[in-house]
Amino acid sequence: MRALVLALAVVFGFGSAFAAERIDIGPAVGASIPMPFAVHDTQGAVQTFADLAGPSGAVLVFVRSASWCPYCIQQLRDIEGVNAELKARGYRLVSISYDSADILTAFAKKYGVTYTMTSDEGSKMIDAFNIRDPQYPPTSRAYGVPKPAIFVVDKGGVVRAKLAEEGYKTRPPSEAIIAAVDSLKK
């Protein structure tokens, strides 16, 4: 029942619990993600979208930092709980932050992360997706962070759903990711 409620909330604009805070950022639903798509895995190797996508596509979770943002750290830990469900649906779960590969490797080890964590040092993909948080000047440690956003992208690189909330403290629950993916089957 909870999954049905969340699916309906996703399809119809998140319902009243999310409507006041929901924002529309990044590529539109139905649009292709920016190409060329390139981020680095925790080993420092370049990964393209084709490298990262599962048979159905990928769920791209943009976060501010796995190092210093407590809201991101909690979200990154929470989404581990839906990784297996996403895999079963053919999607690969991929986090993207401006953190270095070393920071992401340490995070994954500390918290037992099994999904793919990627580094966008220099914020090139963050900028390509047009989700950089503009409030931080170049002198800030947060310069280059994205506004947190989740994109469900099909195998062809087309955005099929997206989840984003105003501000950086509130994140869609992990179950909303599953509901968004499941709503695409209908």
126-153 pLDDT, tens digit per residue, is 999 999 999 999 999 999 999 999 999 9
Do the domain assignments include residue 5? no
Do the domain assignments include residue 52? yes
Please state whether beta strands 91-97 and 116-119 pair in parallel, antiparallel, or not at all (unpaired). Answer: parallel
Looking at residue 61, which CATH number applies to its domain?
Answer: 3.40.30.10
Do the domain assignments include residue 114? yes
Do the domain assignments include residue 167? yes
Do the domain assignments include residue 181? no
Question: What pTM does this model have?
Answer: 0.88
pLDDT band at 116 (very low <50, low <70, confident <90, very high): very high
57: containing domain:
21-171
Residue 2 pLDDT exceeds 50: no
- If we measure between CA atoms, which residue out of 58, 92, 94, 90 comes closest to residue 76? 94
- If we measure between CA atoms, which residue out of 112, 75, 70, 82 comes closest to residue 96? 75
23-79 pLDDT, tens digit per residue, is 899 999 999 999 999 999 999 999 999 999 999 999 999 999 999 999 999 999 999
Q: How high is the pLDDT of residue 53? A: 97
Q: What is the DSSP string of 60-79?
A: EEE-S-TTT-HHHHHHHHHT
- If we measure between CA atoms, which residue out of 76, 144, 86, 142 comes closest to residue 106? 76
Do the domain assignments include residue 45? yes
Domain tally, the chain:
1
Q: How high is the pLDDT of residue 186? A: 63
Residue 21 pLDDT exceeds 60: yes
Do the domain assignments include residue 179? no
What's the whole-number average pLDDT of the chain? 90
Cα–Cα dist 179/164, whole Å: 14
Do the domain assignments include residue 16? no
Q: Are 177 and 184 in contact (CB under 8 A)?
A: no
Cα Rg of the chain, angstroms: 15
